[in-house]
Amino acid sequence: MAFEVKATIATFGGKLLKLSHQSTSTRTPMAVSVYLPPSALQTASPPPLPVLFYLSGLTCTPDNCTEKGFFSAAAAAHGIAVVYPDTSPRGAAIAGEDDSYDFGSGAGFYVDATAAPWRAHYRMETYVARELPGLLFGAAGPIPGLPGVRFDGARAAITGHSMGGHGALTLYLKYPGQWRSVSAFAPVANPAACPWGQKAFAGYFGEDRKDDEWKKHDATELVRAGKAPPELPALIDVGTGDNFYKQGQLLPENLEAAVKEKGVKGVQVRYHADYDHSYYFISTFAQDHVNHAAKYIL
């Protein structure tokens, strides 16, 4: 069995499963949590579940959002499963990986590193976009102890916060057809142009890859390069009291400008007065993001 169940927690009528598995992408054990809505547990053979992936921000494990994000309430109501991957490999034993909050552990940026020594383990793009969906969608009854529970890979959506908002937007754009909708909370929308992204991309790709590899992992640059579909079903929320927004780490205006320049339709960016970068912000709008996904995956 691919997954080991570390904990099963009753919440909002369903179950939150804390899972662990050995990843072929990162060559480390990976933690991932999955919320199963009540509808998944009421019969022995429930219909395959629509799935919302939530990608967390810097420093987070799956626990931050499952404790503070409040997605389960709306997911339970809609009958949607929520998948919470970790933000990086842990314990890869690379020198310095635990030294920064914004690089290495807890800061995988949802990219496959090409620079040594990170490339041996820091492959979060392949992990989130390929390996994890393969494990969840490919197998019959992937959750130990719940053989009837299946996930419907044709009905998947993706969202995320901050670094995870960057992950959601870029993976949506890079893997057409894999997710039916995308949304983001305070995303790092133009990482090649902000300090967080520049540090991460310099480390994972190298300074010399600014003009090619960096741009392939930047939502604003991907849109500029014509990689967005004509209709992009994206909901993006930003708090105007968010210090990282004020410091220019998020740059949602750059994404908006690119979307406008390319005539891409369907992108809704909302600015909320006074809201900060925390889970107090995320939890407030979590229901809107689950509802957004539900329009496409139910």
Residues that bind its own copies (CB under 8 A): 9-13, 16, 66-68, 70, 72-73, 239, 241, 272-276, 278-281, 283-284
Which are the contacts of 256, defined by CB distance < 8 A and separation ≥ 6? 267, 269
Dist. CA 273–CA 95, nearest whole Å: 42
Strands, DSSP E only, in the chain? 4-11, 14-22, 29-36, 49-55, 81-85, 151-160, 182-185, 231-239, 265-272
Known catalytic residue at 242: yes
Q: β-strands 231-239, 182-185: how paired?
A: parallel
Q: How far is the CB of 239 from its own copies (least distance, A)?
A: 7
Q: Which of 33, 88, 105, 162 is catalytic?
A: 162
Taking the least distance from each CB to its own copies, the nearer of 22 and 240 is 240
Taking the least distance from each CB to its own copies, the nearer of 99 and 274 is 274
Which residues partner with 227 through β-bridges? Answer: none
Known catalytic residue at 166: no
Q: How far is the CB of 114 from its own copies (least distance, A)?
A: 38
Taking the least distance from each CB to its own copies, the nearer of 25 and 66 is 66
Q: Which of 121, 166, 277, 292 is catalytic?
A: 277
Amino acid at 160: G
Q: How far is the CB of 153 from its own copies (least distance, A)?
A: 27
Q: How far is the CB of 189 from its own copies (least distance, A)?
A: 21
Q: How far is CA 62 from the centre of its chain?
A: 11
Taking the least distance from each CB to its own copies, the nearer of 24 and 284 is 284
Kindly state the greatest CA–CA separation across the chain.
Answer: 55
Known catalytic residue at 102: no
Q: Coil, helix or strand for 266?
A: strand
Q: Which of 86, 112, 237, 242 is catalytic?
A: 242
Catalytic amino acids? 162, 242, 277
